[in-house]
Chain A
Amino acid sequence: MAVAAVPRPAPGPSSRFWAQVRRDRAGMGGLVLFALVVAVAVAGPAVMPYDPRQPDLLAAFRPPSAAHLLGTDQLGRDLFSRVVAGARASLLGGLGALGVSLALGVPTGLVAGYAGGAWDDVVMGLVEVLMSFPGVLLALLAVAVLGPGQRNVVLAVGLASAPVFARLVRGSALALREQEFVVAARALGARPARVVARHVLPGCVPPIVVTAVLRLGITIVTVAGLGFLGLGGDPANPEWGAMLSAGAEFLRAAPHLVLAPGGAILVTVLSVNLFGDAFADALNPRVRARRG
């Protein structure tokens, strides 16, 4: 029995998106660089030549050498090991904060946008109040309430970013609510929770992804910044922000103490911003049209 030739399906939106991202050379460079940072963070202890917390006062302030790739700090700890250990702290910190803000912001925005009415007024009022604070200030207030410490810093930065997602998702949900497929699902008698989960939420995903990637650079920087301000708790913890502020005491004698963690922060944030921009461009129809 002859089978009619099935035409190949047209490339879906997701493969078109990746094709677009792949064409963006700077974006791909950023992605590769970021993958490298992630690999270092994952490998962690396996690539650390020394214990990042072990002081060795006789070896303090050594410049970079074969024994200590990036030199040693004021307590003689190996800077390379500390930068590697810091990759884990900074990435987990930034991703954790992002996770907190998504977990708080997305459901709140969905409910506000889809349910509307009084819920929407309450949520949007709260979002407007939270947005009447500069983000850093909100995070500082949260740290003041929660108390210093790395975990609380991550929570605080996540809290401060949540309104961004709540507002974004609320807008998408509001637009999707009136779309025909959503109206149809409602008409078929689907329960609100099901309509939101199966039909509204998927439509909100692309803008959430782009905003999350663009936001990751900000959360990594803010977590490191609060560490820099000394709010991250135990200064013995290898964390890039805290390392930077400790090293700043010795700028004249030992600039490598700030250059090592500073370089790590710059490379990480730059890579995130590069592929974040590529993501945003690939999902922006105006840019897509211009590039053909």
Chain B
Amino acid sequence: MIVVILRRAIRTVPVLLGASVLVFLSIRLIPGDPALIFAGDHATPELIAQTRRELGLDRPLWAQYAVFVRRALGGDLGTSTRTGRPVVDELMPRYRMTLVLAGAAIAFSVAAGVPLGILAAVRRGRAPDKISVAVALLGVSLPTFLLGILLQLALAVRLGWFPVAGAQSWHHLVLPAVSLGAFPVAHITRLLRTSLLDALGEDYTRTARAKGLPESLVVLRHALRPALIPAVTIVGLQFGAMLGASVFAEAVFTWPGVGRYLVQAIAFRDYPVVQGAVLLLAATYVVANLAVDLAYAWLDPRIR
């Protein structure tokens, strides 16, 4: 087991390095003097000269990359050209908010998707099955930003059940989390339905039934466990995808997360922040995928 973990963890190192190279090179592709790009459009000549020295811009590209990685690993992602504050200090509080939002969204998608999937499989071909398929299709076809606005309109503006926007309390978390979590609900429902139907046709389920167990116990205790394994993968992958999609939920509900900050940074051409935010989210995505694989190995004895 430890070997599996180590082998899988080591494989993420080149991916992380590749991602950092991509981010590094992307920013260097922007036309213009990199010193000016990192010091900001209104920088003084002294600041530009200092930036040039700090980033090693007079040295070859690979040396510049080495400087970039060394500083990033030391927690130094540069200085925001807009606020003049260290990028790390600007990102960290927002990163926490994004993780809270993505976590709540995943919790919602599991809480809604697992019962829907079970219902669809157990009542296959009947009304609950059809309704859950329809809900799943709607979930996939309603983009986060549109669902967010519709929820905002109906439940916040019209009915006043939830605050329209902001992040002052857990109450503010509900609508952004639901609009972000709706998309994976569809995936979880469909996948769980399929894998549960497969499991219900297996020999061990027939054995459980033959023992005279009530159907609810057959489903919940014998068929559900193996059927959940593929669902775990989806949940993990979706958590990663949410790090990207949360941009939209954050924009609709003015949730102070990394995504919203990244979009602002793009608009203000604040490239140190763009670079830091993308790097942070990509690294989180890679680590989340690693966690999924490990959870999968832990759950499925065949892989162990």
B243 touches A134 (CB 8 A): yes
**A101 CB to nearest B CB, Å:** 17
A145 touches B30 (CB 8 A): yes
The SS class assigned to the B binding surface is helix
A273 touches B278 (CB 8 A): no
Known pairs A128-B15, A144-B274, A241-B145; A137 contacts B153 (CB<8 A): no
Report the Cα distance A244→B251, complex, angstroms: 12
Question: Which of B137, B145, B247, B252 is A273 in contact with, Cβ under 8 Å?
Answer: B137
Q: Is A225 on the interface with B (CB-CB < 8 A)?
A: yes
Question: Which of B21, B141, B143 is A224 in contact with, Cβ under 8 Å?
Answer: B143
Residues of B contacting A145 with CB < 8 Å?
A: 26-27, 29-30
**A107 CB to nearest B CB, Å:** 20
B267 touches A230 (CB 8 A): yes
Report the Cα distance A244→B146, complex, angstroms: 8
- What string of 1s and 0s marks CB contacts (under 8 Å) between B266-292 and chain A? 110001001000100110011001000
Residues of A contacting B131 with CB < 8 Å?
A: none
The residues in A between 210 and 234 inclusive whose CB is less than 8 angstroms from any CB of B are 217, 221, 224-225, 228-231
Q: How large is the interface on B (under 10, 10 to 19, 20 to 34, 35 or more residues)?
A: 35 or more
A217 touches B141 (CB 8 A): yes
B263 touches A262 (CB 8 A): no
**B133 CB to nearest A CB, Å:** 9
Report the Cα distance A184→B244, complex, angstroms: 46
A134 touches B245 (CB 8 A): yes
**A21 CB to nearest B CB, Å:** 17
Residues of B contacting A258 with CB < 8 Å?
A: 149-150, 153
B248 touches A228 (CB 8 A): yes
Report the Cα distance A198→B297, complex, angstroms: 42
Report the Cα distance A180→B150, complex, angstroms: 55
Q: Is A63 on the interface with B (CB-CB < 8 A)?
A: no
**A43 CB to nearest B CB, Å:** 24
A274 touches B137 (CB 8 A): yes
- What string of 1s and 0s marks CB contacts (under 8 Å) between A116-142 and chain B? 000000000110111011111100111
A229 touches B247 (CB 8 A): yes
B145 touches A244 (CB 8 A): yes
Residue of B138, B141, B152 contacting most chain A CB atoms (<10 Å): B141
Q: Is B18 on the interface with A (CB-CB < 8 A)?
A: yes
Residues of B contacting A228 with CB < 8 Å?
A: 145, 248, 251
Q: Is B19 on the interface with A (CB-CB < 8 A)?
A: yes
**B68 CB to nearest A CB, Å:** 15
Report the Cα distance A252→B242, complex, angstroms: 29
Q: Is A251 on the interface with B (CB-CB < 8 A)?
A: yes
Report the Cα distance A128→B26, complex, angstroms: 17
B153 touches A251 (CB 8 A): yes
Residues of A contacting B142 with CB < 8 Å?
A: 266, 269
Residues of B contacting A265 with CB < 8 Å?
A: 143, 146
A137 touches B281 (CB 8 A): yes
A251 touches B143 (CB 8 A): no
Nearest CB to that of A130 among chain B residues?
A: B22
The 6 tightest CB contacts between A and B, nearest first, are A134-B244, A129-B18, A136-B244, A270-B141, A221-B143, A137-B244
Residues of chain B whose beta carbon lies under 8 Å from any beta carbon of chain A: 14-16, 18-19, 21-23, 26-27, 29-30, 137-138, 140-146, 149-150, 152-153, 157, 164, 240-245, 247-248, 251-252, 262-263, 265-267, 271, 274, 278, 281-282, 285-286, 289
12 interchain pairs (CB within 8 A)? A129-B19, A132-B18, A134-B241, A134-B242, A136-B244, A145-B29, A224-B145, A255-B157, A258-B149, A258-B153, A270-B141, A273-B140
Residues of chain A whose beta carbon lies under 8 Å from any beta carbon of chain B: 125-126, 128-130, 132-137, 140-145, 148, 217, 221, 224-225, 228-231, 241, 244-245, 248, 251-252, 255, 258, 262, 265-266, 269-270, 273-274
